Amino acid sequence: MFLLSRADIRKNVSGLVGGVEWLLWVLVLMLFVVAAIGVVNTLTMNVLEQTRELGLLRIVAMTKAQVRRTIMMQAIIIGCVSLPSGVAMGLVVAYVLNMAMPASIGRPVDFHLYPRLVILTLVGAFAIVLIAAFFPARRATRINVVEALHYE
């Protein structure tokens, strides 16, 4: 049997909570990395599917900068369409999970919405979309025009 003072218990619990909080932030960072990989994959597939069209546009006099801008605009459109709905669904899921907490832990937990964190997440995710679009845009500018016309 251990006898601990209230200060020792508070210190131990604070240390445990700090560790869990740190691990949750690492999990958020990992989710951002996975999302970035998904965006790169989507845009790369988009560039591969548009190889013939991009080659034809390059023949018609589209510059490499215009091709890069086209791919970046596609990424911006994907981000503008998907991010607000994704954040909204994330908030709905968080609220539903919070409502289910009393059944699992035996007491209610207050639901708090942190607008600054939601906006920071939205801005961070949009930045990831822009950064992730760089690689497919670079690939699109390196398309060999002659090979692109034979691509099917």
pLDDT digits (tens, 9 = 90+) for 53-67: 888 888 888 899 999
Query: Which one has a higher pLDDT value, 147 or 28?
Result: 28
pLDDT digits (tens, 9 = 90+) for 109-141: 888 999 999 999 899 889 988 888 888 888 888
Measured from the Cβ of residue 22, the count of other Cβ atoms closer than 10 Å reads 10
Q: Is the pTM of this model over 0.75?
A: no
Q: Which residues contact 147 (CB under 8 A, 6 or more apart)?
A: 55
pLDDT digits (tens, 9 = 90+) for 72-114: 998 899 889 999 999 999 999 999 988 888 877 788 888 899 9
Quickly tell me which residue has 């909204």 as its tokens. 88
End-to-end alpha carbon distance in the chain? 74
The DSSP code sequence of 82-119 is HHHHHHHHHHHHHHHHHHHHHHHHSS-------HHHHH
User: Domain boundaries in the chain?
Assistant: 33-150
- Helix axis angle for 6-49 and 64-105, nearest 10°, is 140
pLDDT digits (tens, 9 = 90+) for 21-48: 999 999 989 988 898 888 888 888 988 8
Model confidence at 148: pLDDT above 80: no
